[in-house]
Amino acid sequence: MPQYHPPLRDMHFVLHELLNVTDELKMLPKHADIDAATINAVLEEAGKFAAEIVFPINLSGDQEGCTLDNASHAVTAPKGFKQAYAKYVEGGWPALSTDPAYGGQGLPLVLNQCLYEMLNSANQAWTMYPGLSHGAYECLHAHGTPEQKATYLPKLTSGIWTGTMCLTEPHCGTDLGMLRTKAEPQADGTYKITGEKIFISAGEHDLAENIIHLVLARLPDAPAGSKGISLFVVPKFKVNADGSLGERNAIHAAALEHKMGIHGNATCQMVLEGATGTLVGQPHKGLAAMFVMMNAARLGVGNQSLGLTEVAYQNAVAYAKDRIQMRSLSGPKAPDKPADPIIVHPDVRKMLLTARAYAEGGRALACYAAMLLDKELNSDDEEERQECADLVALLTPIIKAFFTDNGWLATSHCMQVFGGHGYIKQSGMEQFVRDARINMIYEGTNTIQSLDLLGRKVLGDNGKKLKKFGKLIAEFVENEGTDEAMQEFVNPLADLGDKVTKLTTELGMKAFGNADEVGAAAVDYLRICGHLVFAFFFARSAKIALAKQGSGDPFYTAKLATARFYFAKLLPETAGLIRSARAGVAPLMAMDEALF
């Protein structure tokens, strides 16, 4: 059976030593009273909830899955899911970082980030229920009317109600400009919404008394394409004027998707047959409003793979230390046993360290992005808010795509460590691989994220956002460039930074002649940028570890070893990626379609 131990020591390192979050947050009036003791206490309790309540129902939830009653359209989640959610609500976890004006605790988003990493390690399928609700809360908090906020936000904050986002349809996938769902205005100011939505995670379930759907649809006078999309809030049960639940709305689950992974989450085909909804934001501006939830979801999906990378790594390490097989090539390491533990073999170590490095690098970046969001939302300095917003915009597609690519690779490596035992269900490893695979697809495929990064976030503003992150790297390189002990980290970081600058300029020039050059290079480019960001955080981590390795704490010795592994074994991937990006579109388009 699999195991999970919350990585609290590394979280403390990231928050208190690498990012100094208490000092950073104290500069914000909203979080002036935050302290390390509060942060650590919340993390400890969050870890207990994840490991003791949510993790034990992960394997069973995957095996049982969700069930749909075709007559009533009711969906039942796996055994234990409803009870775990009730404890989640009872513990006040949905309200952790939400607005006190609606019953929230108002704690920093960076703390919520750590909570969700642990929940995703424990049970990604279960975590999607509250995770989507948090995104719905953010969207309505930013764009809802005063009436919508008063009606929905307190219940979403408490967790009594959950939320979804109903975007795509059978014929359009990611191309939401093609959606056909219609919204007909009514005399009372509401709308009758009719259409079909697919791939709706947590679209129907028995965990909460009401489900608040955020639905994209077209008004009768809507222009074609993405500029004609409006956003509506459509509750499963209508809400009376006094806040009590009214009659069932005309939205239901017609079917459940039978998926490769995340079996414990109800992925629904939703049908709306004149369902009553209210407009969120301005007519025809729904996609812009929905991007609040979509961007939150993209960061959340990256966090899902971070969680899976961590839990897969923990189990693979435990197995590698215990499993004996063959002898070390350099001579027996456990002469008292008939074979050596497989952790002595170099390639097993490479697989383990790959997963460890991607988990630690991901944790640093995810917490950094969450801290930027805290500043963007709460700083009194308009310039600082914009600076943080630009960096979050740049980093969001990297977190979504780089983390999920790495998570697929890491969970696969960790399953490989188990050999044949990883391929059977009892070990739990094959579930981590299956669950990880969806993360590269939903909330905008990783190619979509790559196009967003290169096309919109970099070339779209002539590299303005990229230069802001590049400035952080340049300052670090300048400050540490004379430290002999830091050369093994600073030199490759500076070199890659220069190469990214040159590659970006080259791709921009090519794109002027042929826009397909962006599509040809985008996936390689995002992965290169992902490594650049990870290298920056590993170099900063190495600086701290070098200064404290004499403390006797083995944590810093391990942190330094992981950083050295990353720079020696993982960062060199960028050389091949740069060559591939520069090869351009010609090799991809040369073959006639008839020859495929």
pLDDT at 176: 81
pLDDT at 532: 98
- Domain edge (last residue) among 257, 286, 315: 286
Q: Is residue 399 part of a domain?
A: no
pLDDT at 360: 98
Q: Is residue 463 part of a domain?
A: yes
Q: Inform me whether the pLDDT recorded for 295 exceeds 90.
A: no
CA distance 490 to 539: 7
Q: Is residue 508 part of a domain?
A: yes
pLDDT at 547: 97
**Are 91 and 216 contained in the same domain?**
no
Provide φ and ψ at 78, rounded to 5°.
Answer: -60, 160
**Are 127 and 174 contained in the same domain?**
no
pTM exceeds 0.85, yes or no: yes
Cα angle: 410, vertex 416, 417; to 5 degrees: 95
pLDDT at 226: 87
Q: Residue 24's domain is classified under what CATH number?
A: 1.10.540.10
- Domain region containing 224: 160-286
What digits encode the pLDDT tens for the residues 490-503? 999 999 999 999 99
Range in 90-104, 277-291, 473-487, 539-553 the model is least confident about: 277-291
Average pLDDT, whole number, for the chain?
Answer: 96
CA distance 578 to 57: 43
- Domain edge (last residue) among 234, 269, 286: 286
pLDDT at 173: 78
**Are 458 and 567 contained in the same domain?**
yes
Count of the separate structural domains present in the chain: 3
pLDDT at 212: 98
Phi-psi region of 195 (alpha: psi -120 to 50; beta: other; left: phi over 0): left
Q: Is residue 39 part of a domain?
A: yes
Q: Which residues, 6+ apart, have CB-to-CB distance to 356 below 8 Å?
A: 313, 562
The helix (run of H) or strand (run of E) holding residue 160 is: none
Q: Is residue 300 part of a domain?
A: no
**Are 177 and 127 contained in the same domain?**
no
CA distance 535 to 494: 10
**Are 462 and 549 contained in the same domain?**
yes
Contact 444, 270 (CB under 8 A): no
Provide mean pLDDT across the span 521-529: 98
CA distance 84 to 182: 37
Q: Is residue 292 part of a domain?
A: no
- Domain edge (last residue) among 86, 114, 143: 143
Q: Is residue 501 part of a domain?
A: yes
What digits encode the pLDDT tens for the residues 324-370? 999 999 999 999 999 999 999 999 999 999 999 999 999 999 999 99
- Percent of residues, the chain, with pLDDT higher than 70: 100
- Give the pLDDT band of residue 468 (cuts 50, 70, 90): very high
**Are 462 and 552 contained in the same domain?**
yes
**Are 112 and 224 contained in the same domain?**
no
CA distance 158 to 210: 12
List 138, 376, 430, 443, catalytic entry:
443
**Are 103 and 184 contained in the same domain?**
no
Whether 443 sits among the annotated catalytic residues: the reply is yes
> 516-548 vs 487-513: helix axis angle to the nearest 10?
170
Report residue 480 as tokens. 């540490």
- Give the pLDDT band of residue 511 (cuts 50, 70, 90): very high
- Give the pLDDT band of residue 293 (cuts 50, 70, 90): confident
What digits encode the pLDDT tens for the residues 170-186? 988 778 888 999 999 99
Provide mean pLDDT across the span 396-421: 98
Q: Residue 266's domain is classified under what CATH number?
A: 2.40.110.20
**Are 170 and 91 contained in the same domain?**
no
What digits encode the pLDDT tens for the residues 22-33? 999 999 999 999
What digits encode the pLDDT tens for the residues 238-281? 999 999 999 999 999 999 999 999 999 999 999 999 999 999 99
Q: Is residue 3 part of a domain?
A: no
**Are 107 and 193 contained in the same domain?**
no
Instruction: List the one residue out of 539, 581, 576, 578 whose CA is nearest residue 560.
Output: 539
What digits encode the pLDDT tens for the residues 79-137? 999 999 999 999 999 999 999 999 999 999 999 999 999 999 999 999 999 999 988 99
**Are 225 and 186 contained in the same domain?**
yes
Provide mean pLDDT across the span 517-536: 98
Provide mean pLDDT across the span 520-526: 98
pLDDT at 296: 85
**Are 176 and 135 contained in the same domain?**
no
- Give the pLDDT band of residue 138 (cuts 50, 70, 90): very high
